[in-house]
Chain A
Amino acid sequence: KQEVTQIPAALSVPEGENLVLNCSFTDSAIYNLQWFRQDPGKGLTSLLLIQSSQREQTSGRLNASLDKSSGRSTLYIAASQPGDSATYLCAVRGGGGSNYKLTFGKGTLLTVNP
Chain B
Amino acid sequence: GAVVSQHPSWVICKSGTSVKIECRSLDFQATTMFWYRQFPKQSLMLMATSNEGSKATYEQGVEKDKFLINHASLTLSTLTVTSAHPEDSSFYICSAREISGDSYNSPLHFGNGTRLTVT
Q: For residues 41 through 72 of chain B, which have their beta carbon under 8 Å from a beta carbon of chain A?
A: 41-46, 49
Q: How far is the CB of B35 from chain A (nearest CB, A)?
A: 12
Q: B113 touches which one: A36, A42, A100 (CB < 8 A)?
A: A42
Total cross-chain contacts (CB, 8 A)? 53
For B115, list chain A residues within 8 Å (CB): 41
Q: Footprint of A on B, CB under 8 Å?
A: 4, 6, 34, 41-46, 49, 91, 93, 95, 103-105, 107-113, 115
16 of the cross-chain contacts (CB-CB < 8 Å) are A32-B104, A36-B110, A41-B113, A43-B4, A43-B6, A46-B108, A46-B110, A49-B105, A51-B105, A94-B104, A100-B104, A104-B43, A106-B41, A106-B42, A106-B43, A107-B43
Of chain B, the residue at the smallest CB distance from A34 is: B108
Interface size on A, residues (CB 8 A): 25
For B95, list chain A residues within 8 Å (CB): 44
Task: Give a binary string over A71-92; 1 marks a CB under 8 Å from any B CB, 0 the rest.
Answer: 0000000000000000001010
A4 interface residue per 8 A CB criterion: yes
Check if A32 sits within 8 Å of B44, measured CB to CB: no
Check if A44 sits within 8 Å of B110, measured CB to CB: yes
Q: How far is the CB of A30 from chain B (nearest CB, A)?
A: 10
Check if B43 sits within 8 Å of A44, measured CB to CB: no
